Amino acid sequence: MLRLALTILWPSFLVAIVAEGCFFALLDPRELFHADSRYALPPIAGYTIGFFFFWTFCALASMLTYFLANVSNDRRPPF
The pLDDT of residue 27 is: 87
The pLDDT of residue 70 is: 82
Would you state the torsion angle of the CA atoms of residues 35, 41, 44, 47, taken in this order, to the nearest 10 degrees?
-40
Domain boundaries in the chain? 2-69
The pLDDT of residue 3 is: 86
Pairwise CA distance, residues 72 & 79, whole Å: 15
Q: Are 50 and 20 in contact (CB under 8 A)?
A: yes
- Indicate whether this model's pTM tops 0.85: no
Residues 6+ apart with CB under 8 A from 78: none
Low-confidence ranges of the chain (pLDDT < 50): none
Q: Are 65 and 11 in contact (CB under 8 A)?
A: no
Sign of torsion over alpha carbons 65, 69, 71, 73: positive
